[in-house]
Amino acid sequence: MNDPPKLTEYGLPVDPQSMVTPPEATELELEPGQPGIEDAGYVERRRELFGRCRRHRLERLGPPLVDYTSEETRIWREVTPKLDELHVTHASQMYLQAKRELAITQHEIPQLRHLGERVERETRMHLVPAEGALPYRIFYQYIGERGFPVTQFLRHGSHPEFTPEPDMIHDCLGHVPPLMNHDYAEMLTLIGKAASAATHGEHVLALKRFSWFSIEFGLIEEAGETKVFGSGILSSTGEIPYSLLSSEVTREPFVTDTVITTDYDPSRMQDHLFIAPSLPFLRQELETLVRRFGL
Ligand SMILES: [Fe+2]
């Protein structure tokens, strides 16, 4: 009998089975040293939103309407103009068009419930409230059902330009706009279905890396220029110029077999990126990969 394959993720060995059946947090967990962990009011707010969003997710109630505090609005108003300015110059056309159609303003934090209704009319994707980062396979199970999990809390005000975990700014300005694009929505749904159907840890890991280097941290070719495509880059004022201009970053053409065997460290700025020639190319590559895995 063959030994199960040995897998490495984030530089460490990982149990293939934990890729297939990942553990799920049932209570708010903040990392030591995370901004806001010493701020009792912030932690309390995070707990409250965690409980509400988790309940709405599990009971399939859609995103709750949230009364954002003046501090949360202040953070939104501080970060979004800086991101908007960078997007105009560096984001892909597909993203810019979708963001205009969603009419997301710098002034008020949008309600995900309303954004979700608009997205659903366009591409039949809907938004699922998430209490925090969900394990990859659970995340993609929702996506396979055309639901995109989104958080509703904001990062701590002491570090408005940095968040070690996905928050409302990352989700709302990074992930939600591309859901308005039909090719993108179909590609996502296919990853979701494949990740849900996969029973081998190495297949889940390969799909996770495919998503990471495209949907989260992908660059894309557009009219002879390299533009930002990935949501992780689009939602970070530091990561946008770093990804395109820094000499520390290796940028190479998106070759699926290289991508799915490339490890990454999610806790730092991404210094190894792949440039896809187009969105239809990514979709086709994914379809080929999924077929190859027999999913
Ligand atoms: Fe993300």
Output the CA–CA distances (angstroms, integers) from residue 119 to 92, 96, 125, in the order listed.
19, 15, 6
From the CA of 247, how far away is ligand 1's center (Å)?
24
Predicted confidence band at 161 (pLDDT cuts at 50, 70, 90)? Answer: confident
From the CA of 207, how far away is ligand 1's center (Å)?
14
pLDDT per residue as tens digits for the range 85-130:
999 999 999 999 999 999 999 999 999 999 999 999 999 999 999 9
**pLDDT score recorded for residue 115:** 96
From the CA of 73, how far away is ligand 1's center (Å)?
21
From the CA of 265, how far away is ligand 1's center (Å)?
14
From the CA of 228, how far away is ligand 1's center (Å)?
14
From the CA of 2, how far away is ligand 1's center (Å)?
35
pLDDT per residue as tens digits for the range 44-83:
999 999 999 999 999 999 999 999 999 999 999 999 999 9
The residue among 228 and 166 whose pLDDT is bigger is 228
From the CA of 226, how far away is ligand 1's center (Å)?
20
pTM attached to this predicted model:
0.90
Name the average pLDDT for the chain. 93
From the CA of 170, how far away is ligand 1's center (Å)?
7
Q: Which of 12-21, 139-148, 240-249 has the weakest average pLDDT? A: 12-21
